Amino acid sequence: MNIFKPCRQLTQRLLIASAALALAGCASAPWGDLFTSSPDVRPPALEAPAPVAAGFYRVNPGDTLAGVAAAFGRDSAQVARWNRLPNDYPVSVGQVLRVAPDPSAVSGPVQTGAPESRVATGNVAPAAAPSQQTRFIWPASGPVTSNAGDGQSKAIHINGTAGETIRAASTGRVIYAGSEIKAYGLLVIVKHDKRFVSAYGNNAKLLVKEGDAVKQGQPIAEMGAADDPHPYLIFELRDGTKAVDPQNYLPKRSG
């Protein structure tokens, strides 16, 4: 099933979503057309802290060191080492963590003098800020049990536990939050910019509503459809009107 096709019972809500995003198009147009019909559309301003540099992540409520590491496809011990933290360190909301190795530590000049003493700190600031933050992160930390198919839908299934936090793969605006599409249960759809839209289905509880601005890594739902003994997340990604394999856009996982 392609969840981005028109659905009569969603007509009114799609119109509201398109109006909020200043998008052109009618209610009978495909979802993809709604997202790309206006060349002048700009995503709404988000009331959020300035983005952190590439290779870094700002901690959100509910985050753990292990969870952040998993979202970026890293081992928690790696992330702890890069930030000079104990493996079980309780990270704080707003703290900035390095989630990728420091390039200067690998390719920098050979040090000839005595090593410079450094003070360990939880908040690591980049020496030279790269151009932008990591584009997408994993919305859940479990294994992928169903890969993208060859049809119109490129959804992947990510296994987990009931009540597990589902996080926004990137900063954006919630344009749908509901359960009208039965095959996806409780569903959240986030528009990130002119190009990308992500969808998160099969949830037990939604933590956001339509129109909410969300930050990358922010909790948006809890995993686990009712009466499902094996909870999993349905995760989809679109680039314009084209469904794409999310794994091609997510960080490669360790191991």
Q: Residue 220, SS3?
A: strand
Residue 52 has pLDDT above 70, yes or no: yes
**CATH homologous superfamily for the domain 8-45+136-248:** Glucose Permease (Domain IIA) (2.70.70.10)
Task: Kindly report the length of the chain.
Answer: 255
Between CA 129 and CA 174 the distance in angstroms is: 29
Q: Euclidean distance between the first and final Cα of the chain, in Å?
A: 32
Q: How confident is the model at residue 47 (pLDDT cuts 50, 70, 90)?
A: low
Query: When comparing pLDDT for 176 and 241, which is higher?
Result: 176
Summarised one tens digit per residue, pLDDT across range 53-71 is 878 888 888 888 888 888 7
| CATH T-level topology, domain 56-102 | Membrane-bound Lytic Murein Transglycosylase D; Chain A (3.10.350)
Q: Where do the domains of the chain lie?
A: 8-45+136-248, 56-102
Check residue 71 and give its pLDDT. Answer: 79
Q: How confident is the model at residue 167 (pLDDT cuts 50, 70, 90)?
A: very high
Q: How confident is the model at residue 178 (pLDDT cuts 50, 70, 90)?
A: very high
Helix (H) or strand (E) segment spanning residue 57: strand 56-58
Please give the C-alpha separations between residue 25 and each of 5, 13, 189, 224, 241, in angstroms, as whole numbers.
14, 14, 18, 34, 14
| DSSP β-bridge partners for residue 236 | 199
Check residue 151 and give its pLDDT. Answer: 63
Check residue 3 and give its pLDDT. Answer: 59
In 88-229, which residue ranges form alpha helices assigned H by DSSP? 103-107
* Burial group, residue 227, by CB count within 10 angstroms (0-12, 13-18, 19+): exposed
**Percent of the chain's residues with pLDDT above 90:** 35
Report the helix count and the strand count for the chain, using DSSP H and E. 5, 12
Residue 77 has pLDDT above 60, yes or no: yes
8-45+136-248 and 56-102 have identical folds: no
Q: Residue 38, SS3?
A: coil
0.75 surpassed by pTM: no
